[in-house]
Structure 1
Amino acid sequence: MINRIVLVGRLTKDPELRYTANGIAVATFTLAVNRPFSNQQGNREADFINCVIWRKPAENVANFLKKGSLAGVDGRLQTRSYDNNEGRRVYVTEVVADSVQFLEPRGTASGGGQAQQYGGGGYDQGQGSSYGGQGGQGGGYQNPPNQGPGFGQGQQANDDPFANDGKPIDINDDDLPF
């Protein structure tokens, strides 16, 4: 059997972080995911999908995502039911996320922002970029301020390092992944 969900969308409101009686973090949020087609009026519609994530990734989601943030969710679909205060059975279908990817720098959804650090499950604002490590700490690839990955001194992050070179790129067949 296969139960796998992959979504990319924007949060409809800030995530809600709570803790269970045992102290386990759980965050809930709703993702607006555009449909791949337009309706008869030519407008794109969206589905609003409830998501839940547990433990440390839940804390990262609550700390670093907010309303309007672009996020990718990888998880599984789950249905559950409970009896509400009126004694009625309520059925809930939601995505239980295994991981949430933050797909844009912090502050982009609300405009503006500085360079960021990407780490295991989250990112922090900082002076440069750091790829790898836990929570942007330890190991990984580090850049000087205001430079993207792979750019040497004096180049801006939006410069193409291969532009106007005119020479073929020499790549050894042993370096190819296929």
Structure 2
Amino acid sequence: MAGINKVILVGNLGKDPEVRHLEGGSSVAHFTLATNDSYKDKSGNRVERTEWHNITAWRGLAEMAEKYLKKGQQIYVEGKLRTRQYQDKDNQTRYITEIVADEISMLGGRPQGDGQASSNGQGNEQPAEAQTFRQEPEIDQLPF
């Protein structure tokens, strides 16, 4: 039986996605996602905690991220947990754990400051229909 590697997060973008267009025509986007949690400590005080997640999106999802995602926007991300290593500028081996997105859904209204006026002409944010984007599987991932 194969293992399961699945991550589901709902949070807010910490920054606009940084997108690179690679030589082979592929695109890759990197951005951070903040999730919030709260609990009561031993004294009964409520403690808020923010966890930051590194998100990577490839190809069509990267292009969607570049076009539609903005800092502060609430999104749903589904993907796989990956840890990779790299050499830093001092030739030290570093590790980074990230979520490689398979699906991204935009939740709630449009992000603030996108320059679009609402239908009532007052500039108030109107809830937008949630949009979901999925990554197409690689040829070697297809079931045949």
TM range (shorter): 0.7 to 0.9
TM-score w.r.t. the length of structure 2 is 0.74
Q: Which has the higher strand share?
A: 2
Q: Which amino acid aligns with 2:47?
A: N
**RCO higher in 1 or 2 (8 Å CA, sep ≥ 6)?**
2
**Highest Rg: 1 or 2?**
1
- TM-score with structure 1 setting the length: 0.61
1:32 paired residue number: 34
Aligned residue pairs: how many? 122
2:46 is paired with a residue whose SS is: coil
Q: Secondary structure at the match of 1:43?
A: strand
Long gaps (5+) in structure 1: 123-178
Paired-residue identity, %: 36
1:2-81 counterparts in 2 under 5 A? 2-39=4-41, 41-81=45-85
- Aligned partners of 1:35 and 1:115: how far apart in 2? 24
Change in CA separation of 1:9 and 1:38 when aligned onto 2, cut-off 3 Å = farther
Deviation string, structure 1 residues 51-89 (Cα, Å, up to 9, x no partner): 000111111112111111000000010000011221110
Q: 1:42: Cα distance to partner?
A: 1.8
- CA–CA distance in structure 2, aligned partners of residues 98 and 82 of structure 1: 23
Checking the alignment, whether the CA contact within 8 Å between 2:108 and 2:130 is kept in structure 1 is no
- 2:125 match: 113
Give secondary structure in 2 for the equivalent of 1:57: helix
The CA distance in 1 between the partners of 2:10 and 2:132, in whole Å, is 19
Q: Match for residue 104 of structure 2?
A: 100
When the two chains are superposed, the root-mean-square deviation of aligned CA atoms in Å is 2.5
Name the amino acid aligned to 1:64: Y
